[in-house]
Amino acid sequence: MHQHRAWQGRRSITIPLLTVLVAAFLLAAGGCRKQKEGPPIRKTFGQQELLIGLIPEQNIFRQRERYMVLRKYLSDRLGITVNFTSLSRYGNIIDRFAAEKMDGAFFGSFTYGLARRQLGVEPIARPVNLDGTSTYHGYLFVRKDSGIRTSRDMKGKRFAFVEYATTAGYLFPLSYFRSDGITDPQRFLGQSFFTGSHDAAILAVLNREADIGSAKNTIYDQLAGENPRIEQELLILATSGVVPQNCLAVRKDLDPELKAELKRVLLDMEKDPEGAETLRRFGARGFVVTTDEDYTYLYTLATQVGIDLRTYRYKNQ
Amino acid sequence: MKRRILMGFGLLLLIFLVGSVVAVLYISRTTASMDRLVLLHQVEILRADLIIHIQQVQSQLSRSKVRSGGDVDVLIAHVQEMDKVMDACIGCHHSPELTQGLHSMHDLSDDYKGIISRLVTATANQRHIAQLEQRAQSLGQELIGMAQGMSFTASLRLQQKTQETMASIGKIKGILIATLLTAFLLAAVIGFVSVRGLDRRFRRLLDATRRIAQGDLQHRVEETGRTDDEFDELASAFNTMTQNLHRSQRQLLQSAKLAAIGELATNIAYEVNNPLTGVLGYTGLLLKADDVPAEKKEHLRIIERETLRAREILKHLLDFSRRKPPHLVRTDIAGIIEDTIALVRGQAKVARVEIKTACPAGMPVVAVDIDEMRQVFVNLINNAFFAMPSGGTLTVRCAAEQDEAGRSVVAVSLADTGHGIPEDHLDKIFDPFFTTRPDGEGTGLGLSVSFMIVQNHGGRIEVESAVGRGSTFRVILPAQGGDPGAA
Q: Choosing among B64, B121, B126, B132, which should be mutated to test the A contact, i.e. which has the most A CBs within 10 A?
A: B121
Determine, for residues B76 and A85 on separate chains, whether the beta-carbon distance falls below 8 Å.
Answer: no
Answer whether 0.80 is exceeded by the pTM: no
Which of B80, B123, B128 lies at the smallest CB-CB distance from A90? B123
Task: Round to whole Å and give the CA distance between A160 and A39.
Answer: 49
Nearest CA-CA distance, residue A89 and chain B, Å: 6
> Please, what's the b/e burial string for A5-26 (b: 16 or more CB within 10 A of its CB; e: otherwise)?
eeeeeeeeeeeeeeeeeeeeee
Q: What is the ipTM of this complex?
A: 0.71
CATH code of domain B250-322:
1.10.287
What pLDDT, on the 0 to 100 scale, is given for residue A176? 94
Which of A56, A60, A196 lies at the smallest CB-CB distance from B129? A196
Q: What are phi and psi of B427, to 5 degrees?
A: -75, -15
- Domain B326-480 listed as CATH 3.30.565.10: yes
What pLDDT, on the 0 to 100 scale, is given for residue B354? 92
Q: Choosing among A51, A65, A90, A317, which should be mutated to test the B contact, i.e. which has the most B CBs within 10 A?
A: A90
What pLDDT, on the 0 to 100 scale, is given for residue A205? 94
Task: Round to whole Å and give the CA distance between B266 and B261.
Answer: 8
What pLDDT, on the 0 to 100 scale, is given for residue A235? 96
Task: Round to whole Å and give the CA distance between A264 and A43.
Answer: 14
Which of A58, A91, A195 lies at the smallest CB-CB distance from B128? A195
Nearest C-alpha neighbor of B245 from the set B215, B273, B274: B215
Determine, for residues B113 and A88 on separate chains, whether the beta-carbon distance falls below 8 Å.
Answer: no
Task: Round to whole Å and give the CA distance between B105 and B85.
Answer: 12
Determine, for residues B117 and A316 on separate chains, whether the beta-carbon distance falls below 8 Å.
Answer: no
Termini Cα distance of chain A: 93
Which of A85, A89, A164 lies at the smallest CB-CB distance from B121? A89
Nearest CA in chain A to B68: A90
Determine, for residues A64 and B116 on separate chains, whether the beta-carbon distance falls below 8 Å.
Answer: no
Please indicate if any CB of chain B lies within 8 Å of the CB of A316: yes
pLDDT per residue of chain A (317 residues) written in tens, 0 to 9: 344 443 444 444 444 444 444 444 444 444 444 344 444 455 567 778 899 988 877 778 888 888 999 999 999 999 899 999 887 665 567 888 888 889 999 988 998 999 999 999 999 999 998 889 999 999 999 999 999 999 999 999 999 998 888 899 999 999 999 999 998 888 899 888 888 788 889 999 999 989 999 999 988 998 999 899 999 999 999 999 999 988 999 999 999 999 999 999 999 999 999 999 999 999 899 999 999 999 999 999 999 988 898 888 766 55
Q: What are phi and psi of B424, to 5 degrees?
A: -75, -10
Do strands A81-86 and A49-54 pair parallel, antiparallel, or not at all (unpaired)?
parallel
Torsion of CA B348, B349, B354, B358, to 10 degrees: 60
Termini Cα distance of chain B: 52
- Chain A hits for B126, CB-CB cut-off 8 Å, are 317
Write out the residues of chain B at the interface with chain A, using a CB-CB cutoff of 8 A.
66-70, 72-73, 76, 79-80, 83, 113-114, 116-118, 120-126, 128-129
Instruction: Kindly state the helix (H) or strand (E) to which residue A85 belongs, with its residue range.
Output: strand A81-86
Which of A88, A161, A164 lies at the smallest CB-CB distance from B68? A88
pLDDT, mean of each 10-residue run, chain B (487 residues): 79 84 84 81 81 86 64 83 82 72 86 84 75 88 86 79 85 85 87 86 87 84 76 84 83 78 78 87 89 88 89 77 76 89 88 90 88 90 90 92 84 92 85 76 79 87 90 92 53
Task: Round to whole Å and give the CA distance between B117 and A59.
Answer: 5
- Domain B2-187 listed as CATH 1.20.120.1730: yes
Determine, for residues A195 and B114 on separate chains, whether the beta-carbon distance falls below 8 Å.
Answer: no
Task: Round to whole Å and give the CA distance between A138 and B286.
Answer: 189
Please indicate if any CB of chain B lies within 8 Å of the CB of A67: no
Nearest CA-CA distance, residue A173 and chain B, Å: 17
Per domain, the residue ranges of chain B are 2-187, 250-322, 326-480
The string of DSSP letters for B351-385 reads HTEEEEEE--S-PPEEEE-HHHHHHHHHHHHHHHH
- Chain A hits for B69, CB-CB cut-off 8 Å, are 86-88, 90-91, 96
Determine, for residues A56 and B121 on separate chains, whether the beta-carbon distance falls below 8 Å.
Answer: yes
Nearest CA-CA distance, residue A198 and chain B, Å: 9
What pLDDT, on the 0 to 100 scale, is given for residue A210? 93
